[in-house]
Structure 1
Amino acid sequence: MAARHIAIAGAGIGGLTAALALARAGFAVTLLERAPALEEAGAGVQLAANATRCLQSLGVYERVAEHAVFPQSFEVMDGRRGARLTGAPMGAQAEARFGGPFLVIHRADLQAALLAAVRETPAITLRLGHAVESFEAEGDGVTVHLADDAPLHAAALIGADGLRSMVRLALHPEAKPSFRHRAAWRATVPAQALPAHLAVPATRLWLGPGAHLVSYPVQAGRAVNLVAVTPDAREAHGWSLEGAPGELLSHYPDWSADARALLAAPERWLRWALFDLDPLPVWGAGPVTLLGDAAHAMPPFLAQGAAQAIEDAVVLADCLDDAGDIPAALRRYEALRQPRTARVQRAARGMDRIYHLAGPARLARDLVMRARSGNAVLERYRWIYDWRP
């Protein structure tokens, strides 16, 4: 069975999607997850047309869409004045323009939808509480050594084990995550706890000097997801580090009443130190490769982290489908994905600078945004949204 058996390290969004894609390509998949249970992590996820088309191709889009919200507009706001700088219609117009729907969803809902599909797929074995400790390539594949269990033999190992990837560390010990000196503060609040004009089905990006705020509806509109990004010198990482609301508000002293109302609404904030990776010149070797954040962790400023992992999964399965030479197929996958993901990484880093401009540069940016239509802002990223596997 090893010739058609793939092992995946990590059962996050990328690992779950890869398992589904590989099973559809005819592989038996063992999905290995260190955690003893898959629990809610993070907050909201934005999925643009490039990602939703992939979910459609895998037959899981309808399951995901049941719990999603389809924003009817995208707006960029002046965080201090509260005025709209630019915006564009979304919904059906954006879907027609880019050939696929744009949606927002709570990360737990997305994970639950993918997990349900995985559990219904006989070709996928999910093994929770199984940490990959090491691996070694052999003539006919790879042997994966697990903590407290017998070794596992497979034709290939896919490292979808996130920013702190053990698989990447073994392949590229020199490739260290880069701290961006920023933190993302995340919270979800009931929509009914906010003024009606702040709980509309829109994605809003609030810009100000040194910090920004994103708000959009999740959980079928019953809640609003908030992400506030501020300067931060603390490198402690993790999804569930408590953040003091007073500290967060101190980064937004002169912001508009609406922005501060959003920031004051949550009873609890979780602080997440932002790290990314410099683009890797090489991802894998032999029967081993990387996927998602393990290969190309990026700042969240283009909302493409999950989308790029989903793209990876579809391309990986396509390359391995009917492949006689597994290592050669993995190198083809890497050659297809590396230029695109590196470009998205660089673009996301560039938005870090643009979002957080201060002084005259901020005023100049805002003037340009007011003069430019929101459709032009979306068109700037057509190269992202138009992608098809």
Structure 2
Amino acid sequence: MAARRIAIAGAGIGGLTAALALARAGFEVALVERARVLEEAGAGVQLAANATRCLKSLGIYERVAERAVVPRGFEVMDGRRGTRLTGAPMGDPAEAAFGGPFIVIHRADLQAALLAAVRATPAISLTLGHALTRFETVPEGIALHLAGIEEPLRAQALIGADGLRSAVRLALHPEVRPSFRHRAAWRATVRADALPAPLAEPVTRLWLGPGAHLVSYPVQAGEAINLVAVTPDEREVHGWSEEGLPGDLLTHYRGWSRDAHALLAAPDRWLRWALFDLDPLPEWGDGPVTLLGDAAHAMPPFLAQGAAQAIEDAVVLADALSGEADIPAALRRYEALRRPRTARVQRAARGMDRIYHLAGPARMARDLVMRARSGEAVLERYRWIYGWRP
């Protein structure tokens, strides 16, 4: 076994970023992924200043930014009336306020940029199409058994970045199961020129209504608009590619505004994703094994922080391991640094579920508060998220 080798299970956004961060810290990285081909999962991703600062620290922000969009503003809309509740400029003012750019990007473009950086890094080996079947501690660290490969892969540590249904987490915490949130996210991407011009502006919009909400923002260098519609749903089918029937979706948006319906009617195809998350875990890892990203702290998408928290994990993990001879001690330090923050973000995201979907008098009271509060104040409320630095 080569000295200072770290194995990572899972080549999603968290796993790819962790591989780049660890290689930059001087490690050899063995990145393994069960999928034969890394394909798009989901649609758009919002990366706030806390995430883009991390990408800059790793020297990969410019590569990511090539296909990203910097929204010129954000707006919170009354979904039924179509009127603006609050909003604020983004772009340079937000970057100046929080020390990093806020960008939106198609998930496939983000993954492609990270993957290109991984393939250009000699210290990282990427193995596709071989699932991790089990692992065991050995005197030099960890031995990974991969489906279809006879010889175990040996490393000093294993990072489980294998998502919500993590095999690594299942081995460490067999009692932990994802929690179904009784909601679905419907995702679609439409060409910007297929929409009325005001709906194709480089603005992130959040449309709120009783029981449901809708998010729209530009991706693919502004050529397309990403849509995410969140509705009540009792179907627990897991995955990113479940076909959704537009008729099922539109039943949740009866009485919404003309603009909201223009967005909802635009896609030819919707993909439905049942929403699951995790309760905050009291412990993540054991010995030379730990977790990262959704495997450790899957959260609802209501604060757009899932990918950002995985990117933060990657930077903190590499920093904790850098120059540390005692690998398990370094992993426990990483966990101690990350668990309180990710648990707080998880709880805050769950809280937004209730706030976004209020009905009746509670909804009217929320809207009055939003109209009275500036968009800058809304952003400032989350300085604890956006202003974070490793």
TM-score of the aligned structures, taking structure 1 as reference length: 1.00
Matched, 1:4 2:17: no
Corresponding letter in the other structure for 1:56: K
1:181-330 matched pairs, under 5 angstroms: 181-330=182-331
Corresponding letter in the other structure for 1:251: H
Q: Which residue of 2 aligns with 1:176?
A: 177
Q: Which residue of 1 aligns with 2:49?
A: 49
Deviation at 1:100, TM superposition (A): 0.2
Equivalent position SS for 1:116: helix
Unaligned 5+ segments in structure 2 are none
Contact 1:69 1:221 in 2 (8 A): yes
Q: Which residue of 2 aligns with 1:331?
A: 332
Determine the C-alpha separation between the residues in 2 that align with 1:108 and 1:253.
32
Deviation sequence 1:349-374 (CA, Å, 0-9, x none) = 00000000000000000000000000
Corresponding letter in the other structure for 2:292: L
Deviation at 1:139, TM superposition (A): 2.4
1:149-164 matched pairs, under 5 angstroms: 149=149, 150-164=151-165
Q: Which residue of 2 aligns with 1:82?
A: 82
Determine the C-alpha separation between the residues in 1 that align with 2:198 and 2:348.
31
Determine the C-alpha separation between the residues in 2 that align with 1:112 and 1:361.
43
Determine the C-alpha separation between the residues in 1 that align with 2:175 and 2:254.
40
Deviation at 1:148, TM superposition (A): 1.0
Deviation sequence 1:14-43 (CA, Å, 0-9, x none) = 000000000000000010000000011110
Q: Which residue of 1 aligns with 2:362?
A: 361
TM-score of the aligned structures, taking structure 2 as reference length: 0.99
Equivalent position SS for 1:226: strand
Corresponding letter in the other structure for 2:343: A
Deviation at 1:124, TM superposition (A): 0.2
Deviation sequence 1:287-321 (CA, Å, 0-9, x none) = 00000000000000000000000000000000000
Q: Which residue of 2 aligns with 1:99?
A: 99
Matched, 1:28 2:5: no
Contact 1:155 1:326 in 2 (8 A): yes
Deviation at 1:246, TM superposition (A): 1.1
Q: Which residue of 2 aligns with 1:147?
A: 147
Corresponding letter in the other structure for 1:146: L
Contact 1:80 1:255 in 2 (8 A): yes
Q: Which residue of 1 aligns with 2:128?
A: 128
Matched, 1:341 2:342: yes
Contact 1:178 1:275 in 2 (8 A): yes
Q: How many residues of Structure 1 are paired with residues of Structure 2 in the alignment?
A: 389
Deviation sequence 1:203-259 (CA, Å, 0-9, x none) = 000000000000000001000000000000000010000000111011100000000
Determine the C-alpha separation between the residues in 2 that align with 1:40 and 1:102.
22
Contact 1:2 1:155 in 2 (8 A): no
Equivalent position SS for 1:22: helix
Determine the C-alpha separation between the residues in 2 that align with 1:153 and 1:122.
18
Equivalent position SS for 2:253: coil
Runs (4+) of structure 1 exceeding 6 A deviation are none
Corresponding letter in the other structure for 2:269: R
Determine the C-alpha separation between the residues in 2 that align with 1:332 and 1:138.
22
Equivalent position SS for 2:17: helix
Contact 1:243 1:271 in 2 (8 A): yes
Deviation at 1:3, TM superposition (A): 3.7
Deviation sequence 1:102-145 (CA, Å, 0-9, x none) = 00000000000000000000000000001101001122200111
Deviation sequence 1:179-219 (CA, Å, 0-9, x none) = 00000000000000000000000000000000000000000
Determine the C-alpha separation between the residues in 2 that align with 1:246 and 1:4.
54
Contact 1:2 1:141 in 2 (8 A): no
Q: Which residue of 2 aligns with 1:108?
A: 108
Equivalent position SS for 2:358: coil
Determine the C-alpha separation between the residues in 2 that align with 1:380 and 1:174.
35
Corresponding letter in the other structure for 1:358: A
Equivalent position SS for 2:137: strand
Determine the C-alpha separation between the residues in 2 that align with 1:2 and 1:330.
20
Equivalent position SS for 1:158: strand
Q: Which residue of 2 aligns with 1:70?
A: 70
Corresponding letter in the other structure for 2:57: S
Matched-pair identity in % = 83
Equivalent position SS for 2:21: helix
Determine the C-alpha separation between the residues in 1 that align with 2:245 and 2:114.
33
CA RMSD of aligned residues (A): 0.5
Contact 1:204 1:216 in 2 (8 A): yes
Determine the C-alpha separation between the residues in 2 that align with 1:201 and 1:323.
45
Decide whether aligned partners of structure 1 residues 110 and 88 sit closer, same or farther in structure 2, where only a CA change above 3 A counts. Answer: same
Corresponding letter in the other structure for 1:354: I
Q: Which residue of 2 aligns with 1:388?
A: 389
